[in-house]
Structure 1
Amino acid sequence: MDAPPTAPLTAEQQEIRRTLRDLLAERAGPQENRAATATPQGYDPELWARMSGALGLAGLALPEEYGGVGCGPAELALACEETGRALAPSPLLATSVLAAPLLTALGTPEQRAELLPRLADGTLTCALAVPGGSLALALGLTGDNAAEAWSGGGRAGGVQARAVDGGWRLYGEAAQVVDGHSAGLLLVAAHTGGFARSRTLLFLVRAEDDGTPGLSRTRQPTLDLTRTQATVQFRDTPAELLGEEPADVLGALAATGRGAAVMLAAEAVGAAREALDRTVAHVGSREQFGRPVGSFQAVKHRLADLYVQVEAARSLTHCAAREPGPGPDSGPLALAHALEALRATAGESIQLHGGIGFTWEHEAHLFFKRAASDELLFGPVRRLRARAAERTGLFGEVAA
C-alpha cells in the first residue's frame, strides 16, 4: 500500500519507482537477500549490474558529462526508499551516496574524468574510510567535524599519510567501513603534516586488484547482514591525493553528510513502510478467539500510531530531498525521525507477529537490525537532534 506522496511525482519519478520496485520484487526478496549477503561481495553482482546499467541507478545523481543521468536528490531519495523497502544489499550507499559526491566536489578534472564514468555505470564501486568508527562525526551529523575530533592525527592513531618520492603512503587502520571489503576504490581520510601544520586530506587507494601493497581488508561480523562493513589496514600503502591542496575537505565531508542523511532517511522510511504493511497484512489474516487479530481495538490503535509516525518521517524526508540544497539541519532531522519510526515499527512488527516474529527464519528481525545498525553508524538519534538544536542556538552558540 502506498500513501499519497507529499507532492505529486513527475512521470520520470513514477517510472523510476515502478521499474526499480519491479526489479527488486524479482531479485531482492527475503530469500534472495540472504543468499546475496553470503556471497564474497555481500551483495548480488548481477542485480547491481542491472540496477546500474538498465536503470542507471549508480549514476542517477551524477552529471551527464560523466555518464550520469543528471537527476537531483529527489530522484535518488526515491530510489533509496525503494531499496530500503526491499532491504536490498547493494553498493548504492557507499558508492553513490557517500563517495561520488566527494569525488565530484574535490577531484581534479583528470580524476573525475577517469573515475566518475565508471562509478556511473556500476563497473567500479567505492567506499569511504574514516578512522576510529567515527563516520557520523566526520560527516558532521552528530557534532562539529573539526578534524582533531575524529581524524586521529599525530600520536592519537587513525590513518597517517606521508609524502614519499613525489607520492603518498598511508599507515593505520579504519574500521566500520561500509562495503570496505569489496570496493574497487577506497576514499581514505588521512592525517598528514606535523602537529603545527596538521591537516586531514582525502586519498584514493586503488583496490581492484588483490595485490595492492600494504592493504589488508577484513569483512566484519555485523548486526545488519545487508549492510556490510570491513576493517581496512594500511601498511606503507601507495595512495593518490584526491584533488589539489588547499581543498576544503571538511566542508565537502559536511555537505556530503547533509545529502547522505536525506538518502539514509529515505531508506529508513521505505523499510518502515514495508514493515508496517507486512504487519497489517499479518494481523488481518491471523485469527484469535475466532476473529482477526487486527480487528481488536488495541491492535488498531498501535498500528494507527505507527502509521502517523512513519508518514511524518516520510514527509520530512521528501521535503528535505526537494530542497535546492539540503540545509545543515533538514537532513539530519529527517534521519532522526526516520530511524525512530523504523525502530518503533520494526519492534512492533516483531511483537505483533507473535512467536514467529522472533525466529531467525522470519524477516521481521531484519528491519529491526537495519534500524539499530544505521543508528550505530550514523547516530544515535539523540545526538542528531542535539546537534540540530545546538546549531539553531537552543543550547548556546556552536561552531558552524
Structure 2
Amino acid sequence: MNTDLLYDEVDEELRSSVRGLLAARSPWSAVLARVEGPEPYDTKLWATLAGEMGLAGLAVPEDLGGAGASWRQVAVVLEELGAAVAPVPYLGSAVLATAALLSAGETELLGRLASGERSAALALPFSTAFGTTLSPTVSVVDGALSGTVTSVADAVTVDVLLVPTTEGLYAVDAAADGVSRTPLSSLDMTRQVCDIAFSGASGKAVAHGEGAVEVALTTGAALLASEQVGLAQWCLDTTVDYLKNRYQFGRQVGSFQALKHRLADLWTRVAQARAVARYAAASIGTDDARIAAALAQSYCSETAVLAAEECVQLHGGIGFTWEHAAHLYLKRAKSSAIALGTPDRHRSTLANLVNLPPA
C-alpha cells in the first residue's frame, strides 16, 4: 500500500483536467439553474466524464477495459466533483457499482461501465453502512425479482441496477418490464434518490452472498470522504474570498479577529479531513480498509457540514438566499453525512474494529 498521502504529478494533472471541464460545463450557477428544472442530472456532462475522459473506469484494470489506475485517482475526481456539487452519478456508478462488480468478478458489465457505455447503481437504501447485517427486501423466484427498495441514490437515470436479493447480487436492466422507479423529493437536489419496485423482473446473478456488497459499501464510504473534503475546501475557499472583498465599517470583514479564528479552525479541520480521506482511499483493498473508511466517515462527514454551515453564516444575508450556491453545498453536506452510515454509526463500527470497550 502506498502510504504517501501527498498528491503526485498524475493526481494534479487529473485534477486540472476535471476542474477545467467542470468550470466550463458545470459552474455553480449552471448547477443551481439545473436543479430547479425538470432534469436535475446532467447527462451530457456524465457522458463526457465517463466516456470521453474515461473517468468511470479509472479503478478498472486495463485488461477489463478500464484505465488501470487506482482508487487514489478516483478520490481526486471525487474531490473535484464534490467541490462543484456536480449532478452526475459518479459515486453510484463508478464507485459503488464498479466496486461490487470488481469484487464479484463480473467482467462483461464491468467493461461496459468502464467505457461509459452503461451506468449502474447499487440498489440499497443510501443510508446503508458497511458492517451491518443486510436484510434484502427483494426475493428471487425462478430468476424473477420481486420486492421494493427505498431511497436509492444515483439510480434515477442509470441503465443497470445491481440488486442485493435473498439469493445474492443480481444485475437488472433498469428499463426492463417489471421495474419501476419513483423519484423522491431529495434533500440534496444534485443527488436524487428514488424508490425502486420489482414485479417479476428478470435479472442475472452476478454474485452469491454479501461479500461483493460489503466491499462496495466499504469502498463507497472511504471515497465519499474525498467528495466531502472537496466540498469543504470549496466552502472554505469561497468564504475566505468573500471576506477579503466584503467591507463593513470601512474595514475588510476578514480582518476581524473573531472571524480569523473561525476560519483558522476550519482550515485545520479541512486539512485533517484531507489526511484521513487520502489514507482511506489508499487503504482500499487492504486489511485496514474498514478501519480507515470508518475513521474517514466519522470525521469528514462532520467537517463537511461544519464548512457548509460556516459558508452560509459568514456570507451574511446573501448566504441565506436561493440565489447563492451555499445552500446546495449545505444540502449535499447534510445528506452525505447520512449516506452510507452516520458519523455515530461509523464511530461505533470503528470502536468494535479496534476492540475498544463500550463506555
Counterpart of 1:18, as a letter, is S
> How many pairs were matched up?
353
Query: TM-score, length-normalised on structure 1?
Result: 0.84
- Checking the alignment, whether the CA contact within 8 Å between 1:146 and 1:250 is kept in structure 2 is no
Matched, 1:146 2:146: no
Corresponding residue of 2:225: 265
Matched, 1:67 2:47: no
Taking the aligned partners of 1:227 and 1:172, their CA distance within structure 2 comes to 24
Aligned counterpart for 2:186 among listed residues 217, 222, 232:
222
Structure 1 unaligned regions, length at least 5: 1-5, 152-157, 193-200
Whether the 8 Å CA contact 1:258–1:327 is kept in 2: the answer is yes
Between the aligned partners of 1:117 and 1:310, the Cα distance in structure 2 is 35
Q: Distance in 2 between matches of 1:16 and 1:71?
A: 11
User: Residues of 1 paired with 2:75 and 2:327: CA distance?
Assistant: 24
- For residues 366-377 of structure 1, the aligned pairs below 5 Å read 366-377=328-339
Change (3 A) 1:340 1:328: same
**Residue 307 (str. 1) matches residue 271 (str. 2):** no
Contact 1:145 1:250 in 2 (8 A): no
Tell me which of 7, 10, 15 is aligned to 1:9. Answer: 7
Q: Which residue does the alignment assign to 1:198?
A: none
Alpha-carbon distance between aligned partners in 2 of 1:41 and 1:117, rounded to the nearest angstrom? 27
Aligned to 2:96: 98
Structural mapping, 1:270-349, within 5 Å: 270-323=230-283, 325=286, 326-349=288-311
Change (3 A) 1:160 1:127: same
Matches for 1:158-169 after TM superposition, within 5 Å = 158-163=137-142, 168-169=143-144
The answer to whether the 8 A contact 2:101-2:212 is kept is no
Render the CA deviation track for 1:220-262: whole Å, top value 9, x for unaligned.
Answer: 110001111111001111111114xxx3x32222222222112
For residues 84-95 of structure 1, what are the structure 2 equivalents within 5 Å? 84-95=82-93
Contact 1:41–1:182 under 8 Å retained in 2: no
Q: 1:117 to 1:303 in 2, by over 3 A?
A: same
**Identity in percent:** 38
Q: Give, in whole Å, the separation in 1 of the partners of 2:333 and 2:99.
A: 24
Q: Could you tell me which residue of structure 2 aligns to residue 382 of structure 1?
A: 344
**Counterpart of 1:356 in structure 2: which amino acid?**
I
SS of the aligned residue for 1:136 comes to: coil
Residue 67 of structure 2: SS of its match in structure 1?
A: coil
Distance in 1 (CA, whole Å) between partners of 2:300 and 2:40 is: 25
| 1:58 aligned counterpart, secondary structure | helix
Aligned to 1:252: 212
Distance 1:181 1:23, change over 3 A: same
Alignment of 1:112-127 (within 5 A): 112-113=107-108, 115-127=109-121
- Contact 1:218-1:232 at 8 Å conserved across structures: yes
- State the SS of the aligned residue for 1:241: strand
Match of residue 241, structure 1, among 205, 210, 229: 205
Counterpart contact for 1:347–1:368, Cα < 8 Å: yes
Deviation at 1:55, TM superposition (A): 2.0
Give 1:180 deviation, angstroms.
1.7
Q: Which residue type is aligned with residue 149 of structure 2?
A: A
Distance 2:5 2:240 in 1: 25
CA distance in 2: counterparts of 1:134 and 1:23, whole angstroms:
28
C-alpha distance in 1, partners of 2:244/2:127? 41
After TM superposition, give the deviation of residue 273 of structure 1 in Å.
0.3
- Quote the residue 2:169 is aligned against: 202
CA contact (8 A) 1:126 1:185 kept: yes
- Greater shift, 319-328 or 304-313, is seen at 319-328
For the 8 Å contact 1:41–1:181, the answer to whether it is kept is: no
Kindly provide the amino acid, as one letter, of the partner of residue 152 in structure 2. Answer: V
Cα RMSD over matched residues?
A: 1.8
Q: Structure 1's 53 and 213: CA in aligned 2 closer, same or farther, altered over 3 A?
A: closer
Q: How high is the TM-score relative to the length of structure 2?
A: 0.93
Matches within 5 A, 1:179-198: 179-192=154-167
Q: Contact (CA 8 Å) 2:312, 2:319: kept in 1 or not?
A: yes
Task: Report the Cα offset of residue 186 of structure 1.
Answer: 0.5
* Structure 2 residue runs without a partner (length 5+): none
